[in-house]
Structure 1
């Protein structure tokens, strides 16, 4: 493979040597034979720039071959033009030396042939080449003035113009033409290229065909147009094409019309300046457009990378979601049996004190595990932006006291004093999400009790009137272990519990405070922590809420309707069916069970059910398919409220349940109060209400 690559490299170098040699012979022949002015010097001299580029691109042995070709061509052509042998030898040495010096300077500056990506780089390349060009022009003028019998000043000026402009045009032009990567972004059809160059050639002929009435400015729009369409290579070819046409036509005009050598020299300078200005203008336009094309390609490339990164992120997010969904379902399913039977067992009157204590420990451990699962799910909802508030008339004092009652047993077991106080009108109702407010208060109270080995925990609610509603502030203070100053800044970050020792000692996911912060901010409030002067800490949150009238009482008849309800319970797991049936039977319900979707549809078709509790994952026909089948039944059977009762509790799972036709969702493990409240909610609906929800509800 290495040998093959070396062979290909040698072949490319040989082809490049042949192309450069032929190009050099054509250029020197053209300039030496067709563009000689009255002074005996060529009108333009791009040969040295082309030779310098060849010395930069070729390997050492091939550089010597190209130098030999250049010297031989010089001697032969100068002798053909009747130039003295001494002057021919001097020209050959000076041109070769100039090309070598320029190649050495550029190689040292750029580490090789410079790539002209923009105008600044092109100008730098020309600037680095100019000192060698100027020095050789001065040396050449000093050496040739006696031979040509010209004044030193006139000959120096002519040589500087010829060599300087020739190098300024030919060096960047040759670098561009021999750079295979510079065409990128300007790929055009062969026909379009041909038409562009024909337009440039026709314009040049028209502009310079009559030397007495030349119109050189006409070449500019044609050249700029070609540069815009064909890029930097188009600019280089355009300049060379215009020069190839204009130089001989101008020389012929000079020979015919110039009265004196000074007039001829002046006309030559004008032509040289025109060629330089044309090249700089076209090159600047082409390189500016090339930069835009390069930036566009870079933008496209970065957009593609961004799309791929987005796809990877979405795939990772989907993998995380799938993992959470699977783990949530697999943990909740057995946990439903553990908590369900534990709580049923705890209500028995025939348990011994030690057994009741042990059942309580099982229930507490199961509840802690359920809290961990719920924390992860809640945080996934927050991250997905799918957490919505359910606002209703709420007494903030009642919510705080309910949360305190939940942790009271644990506080009592640790010997802690738990106090709740209210500053302000505590009997007011505000527009709040009671469940989320309770969740935040419970998180803070749980932490206070968890991290307080002895002393007291106090919860204080302050209600102050505001211009657009009341300001509610809750403070949870404790005499616990406190929070070190260096750890306070990241308390509300996810998976943060101060340090690893806290996690080991007290457990938890480290998501409670992060979720609380997200919930409070979703309500438009703030949350924080203030250290206490002695020991412990104070966590607080504040939010604004509008006063509202309390909700109307539903009455005893509506509250007790669950006791006479006929319910279809569908679940493939026998333990889940037993727990659900037991809980509903304790409330006085008539419960019929089904173990798959087919049985559920058959029983629902018979009718007579007030509510259907439907599991999601079942063999044969799953819950979603069964729900759609029931909704397609004729008559009243299609309007029965179907409530999902599943371990799938992620937002997207609930959304799929609603899309299938379910009206609500109760997550496993089943919480008795929540189950009763949800069933009662749908029993209280008027019998004629259409239970079919809108798609996507």
Structure 2
């Protein structure tokens, strides 16, 4: 690939050398034969600009070759048109020096080729090259005045206008024509380009022809139209065509349109001004349009990159979700056995005290591991924007009181006192998501207990009445280790710990406070901490909520004892079947077992069940397929509530369970209280929906 690029660059340089060489020869011949004034100086001299552009764009020996072509043909054509050898040498030397001076200035200012892509660069280039023309004019005028008795001022003005116009017009035009960026924009068919150039040539001839009455300003709209269609390159070519046509005709005295009545000198000045104004007007329009086209292409490119980045981000999110789903399932499955059997052992009354303590430690460790898994899943929900609030009339004081009651046993076990203070002049219900707010408060209280070895923990609620909403401030104050000021900013970042040794001592994934912050932000609230290292911390929450009236809740119907329930458990793991059956048998339920979805459909068809607990991942027929098959059965089998009991706990996985026809979801590892609550709820629901027969 590098070798091929090098070959392409060599071919481009060779083609550029040939093109510039031809242009130099043609321009010298054109200027000397067709645009000479009375002093024998050309009115338009683009050869210097072409040589300067070649010195800028070419490399190595190609610069030398172009310089030789310039010098040889300059000398030859000068002498062919009647200049003496000394004059020809003088003109050639000064012109060559001007080209090299422009090259040196460009290397100084631009460190290479100037890029004519903005109005600033278009104005800056002639501002830099004009002093070169002034110096060349002074040198030429001085030599011609001293050695050839030519009028100093006249030579000075003519030479300056000759070179300044060539550098100001031909150099930007050449740089635009060889710029790859301009070649990539404004792609038009060859037919359209030819027609546009023919149009500007025809209009120019019409305006310059002595028999025509067309004014010269008609050239401007045509040149601007070309700039609109072809960009800066089209504007440069159109201006050069106008100069090539008007200069010979006007300077020959054939056209009365360009101040011919005032004499050849005035006519030459008028032509020079006209060409310069036309060039800069049309090229400015072309550059503006090229800039717009470049921005459009850049915008399209960025849109493509954005779409590609979005696709990659979606793919990464999908991969992360699948990874979380797999890891969650693989962790929850063995954890179900650990917690399940620990809970079963804890119910036995024949355990010695030391064995019961060890079983409780196993259960506590399992619950801690489950908390880490749930934190990761909660954070994935937060990142996916899947946290939805379910506000309901809530007593903020009652919520804090219940939360403190939950955490009080852990505090007492460490010898800590836990007190509650409520300052609530409103004493009303507020529209809050009690579950999410309780989750945050439990996390803060749990951290307070974890990081406090002695002293006390205070939970405080301050309610400040407002016109539309009240401001609720919860504070959890401890006398624990405290947090250094420079580390407090890390607390609410994901996977962060304030101290590595603290992390090793207390554990945790570093997600709890990040989840708390995300939940509070969803509530449009604030969360923060005030702490002094070694003197404790105060974590605070501020949320705003309106007061609401309580909602009347209908009485739940009375039902028979759970022992009357017949439940089918479906799971391909024998250990899970054993744990589920044992837990439900403890409360008097009659339990049947099935090892896969196919067996579950067969048992549901032949048996009568009050409830079905269904795993998802099973051989032969998975839980979703089995649920659809059972729901397709005729009543009463098709009306039996089916609860998912699976290690698939991500929101998307739970949604698939509901879509298949399941009514609820129990995440593994199975928590005894959760299992009993779900079973009781749906047994009550089924009993309430069963019509009472009349005798």
Q: Deviations over 1:656-694 (max 9, x none)?
A: 22222222211111122222222333334367979xxxx
Instruction: Provide the rounded CA distance (Å) in 1 between the counterparts of 2:599 and 2:468.
Output: 55
Report deviation, 1:499: 0.9
State the partner residue of 1:693: none
Instruction: Provide the rounded CA distance (Å) in 2 between the counterparts of 1:5 and 1:578.
Output: 71
Please show how residues 263-302 of structure 1 align to structure 2 within 5 Å: 263-302=263-302
State the partner residue of 1:454: 454
Report deviation, 1:4: 8.2
**Would the alpha carbon gap of residues 532 and 147 (structure 1) be closer, same or farther in structure 2, given more than 3 Å must change?**
closer
Q: Deviations over 1:517-562 (max 9, x none)?
A: 333333344333344899433333343353432553634614x564
* Maintained 8 Å contact 2:251/2:267: no
- Report the 3-state secondary structure (helix = DSSP H, G, I; strand = E; otherwise coil) of the residue aligned with 1:191: helix
Deviates more, 1:349-358 or 1:134-143: 134-143
Instruction: Provide the rounded CA distance (Å) in 2 between the counterparts of 1:408 and 1:688.
Output: 37
2:160 is the alignment partner of 1:129: no
Instruction: Provide the rounded CA distance (Å) in 2 between the counterparts of 1:100 and 1:37.
Output: 26
- Report the 3-state secondary structure (helix = DSSP H, G, I; strand = E; otherwise coil) of the residue aligned with 2:184: coil
Instruction: Provide the rounded CA distance (Å) in 2 between the counterparts of 1:181 and 1:424.
Output: 71
Instruction: Provide the rounded CA distance (Å) in 1 between the counterparts of 2:517 and 2:5.
Output: 63
State the partner residue of 2:31: 31
State the partner residue of 1:654: 654
Report deviation, 1:183: 0.9
Deviates more, 1:368-377 or 1:243-252: 243-252
State the partner residue of 1:614: 614
State the partner residue of 1:141: 141
State the partner residue of 1:603: 603
2:538 is the alignment partner of 1:564: no
2:188 is the alignment partner of 1:188: yes
Instruction: Provide the rounded CA distance (Å) in 2 between the counterparts of 1:277 and 1:368.
Output: 81
- Report the 3-state secondary structure (helix = DSSP H, G, I; strand = E; otherwise coil) of the residue aligned with 2:644: strand
State the partner residue of 1:48: 48
Instruction: Provide the rounded CA distance (Å) in 1 between the counterparts of 2:218 and 2:570.
Output: 88
2:442 is the alignment partner of 1:442: yes
State the partner residue of 1:91: 91
Instruction: Provide the rounded CA distance (Å) in 1 between the counterparts of 2:479 and 2:5.
Output: 78
Report deviation, 1:273: 0.8
Report deviation, 1:278: 1.0
State the partner residue of 2:379: 379
* Maintained 8 Å contact 2:122/2:172: yes
Instruction: Provide the rounded CA distance (Å) in 1 between the counterparts of 2:57 and 2:542.
Output: 73
Deviates more, 1:136-145 or 1:658-667: 136-145
* Maintained 8 Å contact 1:431/1:545: yes
Report deviation, 1:623: 1.4
* Maintained 8 Å contact 1:158/1:265: no
Instruction: Provide the rounded CA distance (Å) in 2 between the counterparts of 1:145 and 1:113.
Output: 36
* Maintained 8 Å contact 2:250/2:258: no
State the partner residue of 1:365: 365
Unaligned runs of 5+ in 1: 691-697
Deviates more, 1:631-640 or 1:230-239: 631-640
Please show how residues 300-449 of structure 1 align to structure 2 within 5 Å: 300-424=300-424, 430-449=430-449
State the partner residue of 1:628: 628
Report deviation, 1:472: 4.4
Q: Deviations over 1:477-496 (max 9, x none)?
A: 33322333333333333233
Report deviation, 1:267: 1.2
**Would the alpha carbon gap of residues 458 and 8 (structure 1) be closer, same or farther in structure 2, given more than 3 Å must change?**
closer
Q: Deviations over 1:588-644 (max 9, x none)?
A: 333322211112223333463333221111112211222223333344543432221
Report deviation, 1:269: 0.9
Deviates more, 1:525-534 or 1:24-33: 525-534
Aligned CA RMSD, in angstroms, stands at 3.2
Instruction: Provide the rounded CA distance (Å) in 1 between the counterparts of 2:485 and 2:89.
Output: 86
- Report the 3-state secondary structure (helix = DSSP H, G, I; strand = E; otherwise coil) of the residue aligned with 2:444: helix
- Report the 3-state secondary structure (helix = DSSP H, G, I; strand = E; otherwise coil) of the residue aligned with 1:520: helix
**Would the alpha carbon gap of residues 412 and 198 (structure 1) be closer, same or farther in structure 2, given more than 3 Å must change?**
same
Q: Deviations over 1:563-602 (max 9, x none)?
A: 4333222111111122222222333333322211112223
Q: Deviations over 1:339-392 (max 9, x none)?
A: 112112111111111111111111111111111111111122122221223334
**Would the alpha carbon gap of residues 552 and 97 (structure 1) be closer, same or farther in structure 2, given more than 3 Å must change?**
closer
Report deviation, 1:410: 2.7
**Would the alpha carbon gap of residues 648 and 18 (structure 1) be closer, same or farther in structure 2, given more than 3 Å must change?**
same
Please show how residues 150-189 of structure 1 align to structure 2 within 5 Å: 151-189=151-189
* Maintained 8 Å contact 1:418/1:458: yes
Instruction: Provide the rounded CA distance (Å) in 2 between the counterparts of 1:75 and 1:524.
Output: 83
Q: Deviations over 1:288-338 (max 9, x none)?
A: 222222223333333333333333333333333222222211111111111
2:547 is the alignment partner of 1:546: yes
State the partner residue of 2:678: 678
* Maintained 8 Å contact 1:561/1:684: no
Report deviation, 1:275: 0.7
**Would the alpha carbon gap of residues 175 and 608 (structure 1) be closer, same or farther in structure 2, given more than 3 Å must change?**
same
Taking structure 2 as the reference length, what is the TM-score of the superposition?
0.90
* Maintained 8 Å contact 1:417/1:457: yes
Deviates more, 1:616-625 or 1:299-308: 299-308
**Would the alpha carbon gap of residues 34 and 345 (structure 1) be closer, same or farther in structure 2, given more than 3 Å must change?**
same
Q: Deviations over 1:192-243 (max 9, x none)?
A: 2112111111111111112774521111111111122222221221111111
Instruction: Provide the rounded CA distance (Å) in 1 between the counterparts of 2:15 and 2:464.
Output: 89
* Maintained 8 Å contact 1:431/1:548: no
* Maintained 8 Å contact 1:597/1:622: yes
* Maintained 8 Å contact 1:212/1:253: no
Q: Deviations over 1:14-34 (max 9, x none)?
A: 443332222212112122222
**Would the alpha carbon gap of residues 299 and 17 (structure 1) be closer, same or farther in structure 2, given more than 3 Å must change?**
same
Instruction: Provide the rounded CA distance (Å) in 1 between the counterparts of 2:306 and 2:154.
Output: 62
State the partner residue of 1:694: none
Number of residue pairs the alignment of both structures matches: 689
- Report the 3-state secondary structure (helix = DSSP H, G, I; strand = E; otherwise coil) of the residue aligned with 2:483: coil
Instruction: Provide the rounded CA distance (Å) in 2 between the counterparts of 1:143 and 1:150.
Output: 9
* Maintained 8 Å contact 1:627/1:661: yes
* Maintained 8 Å contact 1:460/1:475: yes
* Maintained 8 Å contact 1:470/1:547: no
Unaligned runs of 5+ in 2: 691-695
**Would the alpha carbon gap of residues 264 and 145 (structure 1) be closer, same or farther in structure 2, given more than 3 Å must change?**
farther
Report deviation, 1:85: 4.0
Deviates more, 1:119-128 or 1:355-364: 119-128
Please show how residues 416-565 of structure 1 align to structure 2 within 5 Å: 416-424=416-424, 430-462=430-462, 466-468=466-468, 471-531=471-531, 535-543=535-543, 544=545, 546-549=547-550, 551-552=552-553, 554-555=555-556, 557-558=558-559, 560=560, 562-565=562-565
Deviates more, 1:243-252 or 1:333-342: 243-252
Instruction: Provide the rounded CA distance (Å) in 2 between the counterparts of 1:312 and 1:432.
Output: 38
Instruction: Provide the rounded CA distance (Å) in 2 between the counterparts of 1:689 and 1:140.
Output: 111
**Would the alpha carbon gap of residues 42 and 671 (structure 1) be closer, same or farther in structure 2, given more than 3 Å must change?**
same
Report deviation, 1:445: 2.2
